[in-house]
Amino acid sequence: MPIYEVGMILNPNLEPQKLQLEKDIILKALEKHGAEVKEVDEWGNRRLAYPIEKDTEGYYVFYKVEMPGAEVKPLERELLVRDNVRRVMIVRDRPEWRTKKA
């Protein structure tokens, strides 16, 4: 199965309990669509290039998952329905595109 990176920007104004609840719901959605989570990378609140819903910051979370390609679009649709999810971007991980360190 191919490996994907699921990048999300969440509402930056969430309380810690609501943020954890939102991340748990996202993990359940990933599992529901057959994704096996390999790695989670949380960047926390970062400044946005442009305001989204009048917020100048967003809470960034990235998941590296292994999942069937047919489940990408349904997963993206399900995540975008969430009120606290501002943006979703799912990209197939291609090792040949990575830069090589000298």
Q: 16-32 and 72-81 are packed helices; what angle lies between their axes, rounded to 10 degrees?
A: 150
The pTM of the full predicted model, rounded to 2 decimals, is 0.86
Burial class (CB in 10 A: 0-12, 13-18, 19+), 77: exposed
pLDDT of residue 101: 66
Q: Assign 3-state DSSP to the chain and report helix, strand, coil percentages, each to 5.
A: 30, 45, 25
Pairing state between β 85-92 and 36-52: unpaired
Question: By percentage, how much of the chain surpasses pLDDT 70?
Answer: 95
- As a whole number, the mean pLDDT across the chain is 91
Going by pLDDT thresholds of 50, 70 and 90, the confidence category of residue 102 is low
**Interval 42-60: pLDDT, tens:** 999 999 999 998 999 999 9
Q: 10 has which bridge partners?
A: 59, 85
Domain architecture of the chain: domains with CATH:
3-94 (3.30.70.60)
